[in-house]
Homo-oligomer: A and B are copies of this chain.
Amino acid sequence: MVYIPMIMKHQSPGGLNGRPAVVLLSGGLDSATALAAAKYQGYQPYALTVRYGQRHHIEVDAARRVAAAIGVFRHVVTDLDLSVFGGSALTDDIDVPKDSRLEEIGSEIPVTYVPARNTIFLSLALAWAEVLQAADIFIGVNARDYSGYPDCRPEFIAAFEHLAQLATKAGAEGSARFTIRTPLIQLSKREIILRGVELGVDYSMTISCYDPSRDGEACGRCDACALRRQGFLDAGVRDPTRYRAGVHAS
């Protein structure tokens, strides 16, 4: 497979001389945009992908493509088997909900919720940040279009930032002031896509679908697909997602 590097249209002058930052990268639309934002802000990105017992590895392949295309100092893919705990459609055998009405999405916590996922991911990012002597961690959480997930809310992020300071040698000794950076937290999906396009993100490399085919085609019907399609539609940007046969882009 040939990966065509994305062109970072607005490469910051900070560039290679910036401070290191750990960026959580899932292979989805949001985290790709968060990575591009980190780079634009002049950070040296260290991308962290957690392979957490998903039923498919399509997301990890997407994360590798995105990391290579945007350009990172290092990309670590680490394994963590959350399926030993059970309890989620993304790690267990619960059916992914399909054909929800858009206005219903986010009104309650979805079955696709993975217990304590962002807490675990941020903890791992914190460990790496401390080793790298990085004070900044980027996460592409979004409280607006997906308010159903408790660990995407600003108050959760603030609580983690407080914890990070107490949890670490660097924090306890006062040599680092950890900051969890959430460039997308207040943006709509439309605004995220417009920001990403401005930064040169090639969204055809990303995958958001909860139930993709084996070769990475999106189902077009799960909640994540529904929000993503509507986002491209609202942004007036051509949807580059590869959908399964019979499903049409917005």
Contacts and interface: CB of A to CB of B under 8 A. Distances in A.
Contacts of A250: none
Interface stretch (A25-33, A62-70, A75-83, A96-104): A75-83
Contacts of A168: 115-116, 150-151
Interface of A: 76, 78-82, 84-87, 109, 113-120, 123-124, 126-128, 130-131, 150-151, 153, 155-156, 159-160, 162-164, 166-169, 171-173
Contacts of A171: 150
Contacts of A160: 163, 167
A123 B119 contact: yes
A237 B119 CA distance: 41
A79 B82 contact: no
Question: For the complex formed by this chain, how many copies does it contain in all?
Answer: 2
Nearest to A121: B123
Contact of A166 (B78, B159, B164, B166): B159
A56 B82 CA distance: 23
A173 B110 CA distance: 12
Nearest to A170: B115
Given A115-B168, A150-B166, 16 more contacts: A78-B84, A79-B79, A82-B127, A85-B131, A86-B131, A87-B127, A115-B169, A116-B124, A116-B164, A116-B167, A119-B164, A119-B167, A150-B169, A151-B167, A151-B168, A160-B167
A117 B213 CA distance: 36
A219 to B, nearest CB: 24
A166 to B, nearest CB: 4
A120 B168 CA distance: 12
